[in-house]
Amino acid sequence: MRQIQQALIDAGYNLGPSGADGVRGRMTIAAIKAFQRKNRLFPDAIVGPKTQAKLFSHTVEMPRGVQLPWMGEAHRIKGLHEKRDHRRLWDWLRSDGATVGDPAKIPWCGDFVQTAIALSMPDEPIPINPYLAANWSKFGTDCKPQLGAVLVFWRGSPSSWKGHVGFYVGEDRTHFHVLGGNQSNAVTITKIAKNRLRERGSRWPLTGPDGDGKTRYSDGKGLITTTNEA
């Protein structure tokens, strides 16, 4: 992201006092769109191959996480704990202009997903009441579980309104590996049983780049397996 920002600055775009800070903020998003319009590209703020070819004079290998901006935003706060990092986490959850409430008191997995998407892709339609995890099954479009997909799980029973939501980063034979909030009270990557995935529970943003459809297998060593995220 810093490479993208520096290339935009070199091209004469104003990113504000923070400059090339590696954060895909509103000014960076606006600059990418302005650059795309100037170069007769679709202004989706996604730095895909066509935008890269115009922005850089040399070939740049963009990590998949940069191509999926919501994943870059989610990884940026990975490790924040609702008590140890309370102020920083709550400030981030409020930074898009809305929040479910104090993360130390209220389940916030839906708030985490909503904030990561709203900050990185402000044109993306958000479900009504995004703080209820089950509502994310109506987000975007149906897709195969793959890097960046929003995964929506049930909790208690498949028919329960209770649940959990997070982002796919990988899987093993029995579990998805999920980057999410309110997992052991923090932003972590956690193993969640595949049989808990809701029907139509793998979703893809309408305004995001195309998914690659690839299954990413991992042994999941060191990851905690949860049955009741908190």
pLDDT in tens, 133-180: 999 999 999 999 999 999 999 999 999 999 999 999 999 999 999 999
Kind plus residue range of the DSSP H or E element containing 36? helix 26-38
On whether the CB atoms of residues 100 and 131 are closer than 8 A, the answer is yes
Q: Is the pLDDT of residue 89 over 90?
A: yes
Read off the pLDDT of residues 57-70 as tens digits, 9 standing for 90 and up.
776 666 655 679 99
Name the residue with tokens 């900050």. Answer: 119
Q: Sorting pLDDT into bands at 50, 70 and 90, what band is 16?
A: confident
Which residue is it, tokens 């960076």? 28
Angle at alpha carbon of residue 27, lines to 25 and 29, rounded to 5°: 70
Helix axes 109-120, 69-76, angle to 10 degrees: 130
Mean pLDDT of the chain: 90
**How far, in Å, CA of 124 to CA of 120, rounded?**
9
Residue of 59 and 114 predicted with greater confidence: 114
pLDDT band at 44 (very low <50, low <70, confident <90, very high): confident
Tell me the β-bridge partners of 142: 203
